[in-house]
Every structure is written in structure tokens, then in C-alpha cells.
Amino acid sequence: MKSTRDYYQIDFPIDDKQNELLFAKLSILSIESFVVEDDKISGYLPVDNFDSNIENELNILAAEFKTVWTKELLPAKNWNQVWESNFNPIRIDDFCHIIADFHNSIPSFQHEIKIQPEMAFGTGHHETTYMMIKAMKPIDFDNKTVFDYGCGTGILAILAEKMGAKSIEAIDYDEIATENTLVQVKKNECKRIDVKTGTLEVSSNKKFEIILANINRTIILESLKSLYDMLEEDGIILFSGILNTDKDLVINAADEIGYILKRKYHLNEWVCLHFTKN
């Protein structure tokens, strides 16, 4: 399956000393993927997601970083070519290896995931997904029920099954994302992942032992109470997609509901938080 979307490539010329901070701020927007170079950041945004609000945010960031942004239309077939040509294997310790069909398998990894590289976000290149995988490593998934909220391309759900989860419910509001998840689920011969399109309202309303939420600060704050109610007693929830500057805001809001913070992961400007239910 190939994505039917056209994309804009949005380029920000930027000094390499500032690109990490700009990258973090751009990631809060609905830009799905990035290529970061020494003198430029290129972001990829579906054409139908580009509106006046996004344009205003880009103008504000351009003024803040004293640069000028430009955009170029990438038809769907060209987008797939660009993405495939930029896809490199991801290695997380000796734990997880994420590859495309044209990469060589490495048996020494505990888990290997093959993907059809059509959408960049959620493949492990982005710090938020990378940290989620790191945070999953020490958790016992064997025979557990798992909820993947904002599943993207399904990498975390697939890893959960490979780690022994007995059932996984994977949800994303974006139909293109869930279509891609189904492709990756089939490619990895997974049998215990139920993929749905929508928000929390389409979930099965059952409780889960582990919840994976790699989304963004706004949706995390809006969903904290609902996700808490969906979590089994002594269950585990991982939150990612949080800037370091927003960490305390999320931690304080979670504490008021009853979450117990167990561990924090940091990578560049990003944070992943491991909570349990009180």
C-alpha cells in the first residue's frame, strides 16, 4: 500500500547550534517527519493539514530563530521515494532493530521489526518513539493487555506483541496512520493487534495492564483522567511526546489524578515518563 497523500516539504535554514531546539518546537505541530541537516531542517506535512494556524506558528518560529521558511509540494509518489531513500535502520541497544525490506537482518537483537517505510513518524528515528522503545525494554509484557494510544505506524504495538503481550489495542485518529499500521502488522506476522481509527471513544472500554501513549502534551493533558480510568490497578503507562520544558506541567497534572512517577527518560529536548496507577 502507498500513501495517497500529497505533502509539503517545509524547509527552515538554521545554524546547527540551534537546530535541536527548533526541531523540538516544530515537532509539537502536526508535522509528521523530519530530516535534520547541519544547515537546514526539513519537515513533512500532509497538504490537507496545512492551514492558517500552522502558517502562523511557522511564522512565529521563523521570527524567533531569525530565519525564513519555505514550502514545496511533494506529490505522494515523490514523498514515498524521498522517505525510502532517507530511511536508515534503527538500533536500540541490543534490544530492538527496526529495518526495511532492503536492509539486512541482524540475529543478535532480541527483537527485529520490519516496516514498509512510508511515513517517518513512529519508526524510531524520532526521539519520542526511540525513548518509548527504551522505556519498554525493562517492562514485563508477557501475557499482558496493552493499549497503544496514537499508534502511528504501529511500531510500539508490534514490539509489545513480540515481547509477549496477549492482546494489543492500537488506536490513531488518522486513517492513513492506521492503514499503515495494518500494513506493518501484516508484514511482521502479528496476530494479537486490534487496530482502530478514532480517539479514545472508539476504544473497547476495557482496562489494560500497560498503556503506551506517544502523542503530544495537549492530548496527554486532555486524556490523563480517561487513561487513568482505563489502566488496571498497579498498571503501567508510558507517556512520550513531551518537551523537557513541559515535563513539570504533565507530572503535576498526573500527580493530582493519582499517577505515581517511577522513571524519567531524557533525549535532547524530549522526555518520556513512566507512571504507575495508585
Residue 34 sits in a domain of what CATH number? Answer: 3.30.70.860
Residue given cell 525510502 in the structure block: 84
Q: Are 228 and 165 in contact (CB under 8 A)?
A: no
In a domain, 15, yes or no: yes
For position 28, what pLDDT does the model report?
73
- Domain with 249 in it: what CATH number? 3.40.50.150
| Three-class secondary structure of residue 141 per DSSP | coil
For position 113, what pLDDT does the model report?
92
In a domain, 261, yes or no: yes
Pair (109, 216) in one structural domain:
yes
Report the chain's terminal Cα–Cα distance, integer Å: 43
**Calpha distance 85→222 (Å, rounded):** 37
Pair (63, 160) in one structural domain:
no
Pair (196, 266) in one structural domain:
yes
**Calpha distance 193→57 (Å, rounded):** 36
Q: Which domain holds residue 35?
A: 7-84
Give the phi and the psi of residue 13 in degrees, each rounded to 5. -65, 130
Pair (132, 42) in one structural domain:
no
Q: Give the residue from 84, 116, 145 where a domain finishes.
A: 84
For position 78, what pLDDT does the model report?
61
- Name residue 174's amino acid: D
Pair (210, 238) in one structural domain:
yes
Go through the chain and tell me how many residues it has: 278
For position 1, what pLDDT does the model report?
41
Pair (32, 118) in one structural domain:
no
**Calpha distance 178→166 (Å, rounded):** 20
Which residues lie closer than 8 Å to 32 by C-beta, 6 or more apart? Answer: 44, 45, 46, 119, 120, 121
Task: Could you list the beta-strand ranges (E) of 107-200.
Answer: 111-115, 145-149, 167-172, 193-197
Residue given cell 514545496 in the structure block: 72
Q: Are 237 and 213 in contact (CB under 8 A)?
A: yes
For position 160, what pLDDT does the model report?
98
Pair (257, 168) in one structural domain:
yes
- Cα-based angle 154, 155, 161 (whole degrees, multiple of 5): 90
Residue given cell 530511511 in the structure block: 87
Strand partners, 201: none
Question: Mean pLDDT for each 10-residue chunk of the chain (278 residues)?
Answer: 70 81 77 76 85 93 93 75 69 89 85 75 67 96 97 93 98 86 93 95 91 91 96 96 91 97 91 94
How many domains does the chain divide into? Answer: 2
pTM score, two decimals? 0.78
